Amino acid sequence: MTTAAEGGSTMIFAEDRRLGKSSMLLAMTDRILRSGEDRMALSVDLRDGIADSGVLAATLLTQAAKQGAGAKVKAMSAKGTLKKLTSGSSAGVRAAGVLLAEQDDAAALSKLLDLLAPKDASLRQALLALDAHGRAADQRTVIVLDEAQDLVRWSDSDEVQQEIANAIKRPGSTVNFIFSGSEKGTLLALYEDPKVPLHGLGRRFLLPEISRDDWYTGLRERYERCGIAIESGQLEQLIFHSEGHPLRTMLICSHTLDWLFEGTVTSDTVERAIKDAERHPSWGLP
């Protein structure tokens, strides 16, 4: 699935809660970021203070800036005129210039740098800037929108959907999306209704329920990667109390680190972690 996302596929994960969608998206984003400098992965949960398209645009550009999009454009600008750039970059800057309606390379790079600033950018400008940056720097951008069905509740929902559709359908686009949400009917309607802008633009991927063996293998690998020893008994103890609920499982795992001694998870470590996790406001979420 990560390979498909990196290759430009638009993906849809519309599943019930407790199947680990958010955890999977975090893992995919992490893998994309670690796969090389030719990728950006911007991840936004629409229920995390994203109230309209303006906030979404600023969030995307702020994340892009942190991942070095603006720095790359500045570095390219500093190299001088188009003829001084490498042949690969030259073609990219020309492609970005066409997208931005700028014929001069310096003007194109300057405009792109301005568009990449989060201040007062519209969603259209943000998506255009990310695409233009991708063309200039030869870098694909994967945008992950979790709880994406919330788009339908925005006052400018139709316009937002149209801008996202434009970014996906633009010839040679360097931007693609991963949509996820727990309101299956609402989310899938965005892609199955022929009357909406996003119709037919995404491929749905099904997530199987996480088995107990999957939990054992995945958690053991995660602890080992962090240099922490954990035995089967402690894994069983942890999974039993979380009931295989992804969020609760991750909460307990996180709190085991607070009670870790000498790099080994003991039964006492898990017991203390469970008590801390049960006090977390998210423990009772469905």
pLDDT cut 90: percent of the chain above it: 38
**What H or E segment, with its residue span, contains residue 72?**
helix 69-78
Looking at residue 164, what is its pLDDT?
95
Bridge partners, residue 229, by sequence:
264
| For range 156-181, the mean pLDDT | 93
Looking at residue 203, what is its pLDDT?
76
Q: What is the number of other CB atoms lying within 10 angstroms of the CB of residue 116?
A: 23
Looking at residue 256, what is its pLDDT?
93
Ranges of beta strands (E only) in 15-93 are: 39-45
Checking if the pLDDT of 166 tops 70, the result is yes
Checking if the pLDDT of 65 tops 60, the result is yes
* pLDDT tier for residue 87 given thresholds of 50, 70 and 90: very low
Looking at residue 225, what is its pLDDT?
85
pLDDT tens string 197-239:
988 887 776 666 677 888 888 899 889 888 999 999 999 999 9
* Three-class secondary structure of residue 122 per DSSP: coil
| For range 33-49, the mean pLDDT | 82
The string of DSSP letters for 52-66 reads SHHHHHHHHHHHHHH
Q: Which domains does the chain have, with CATH numbers?
A: 2-204 (3.40.50.300), 212-278 (1.10.8)
Looking at residue 20, what is its pLDDT?
64
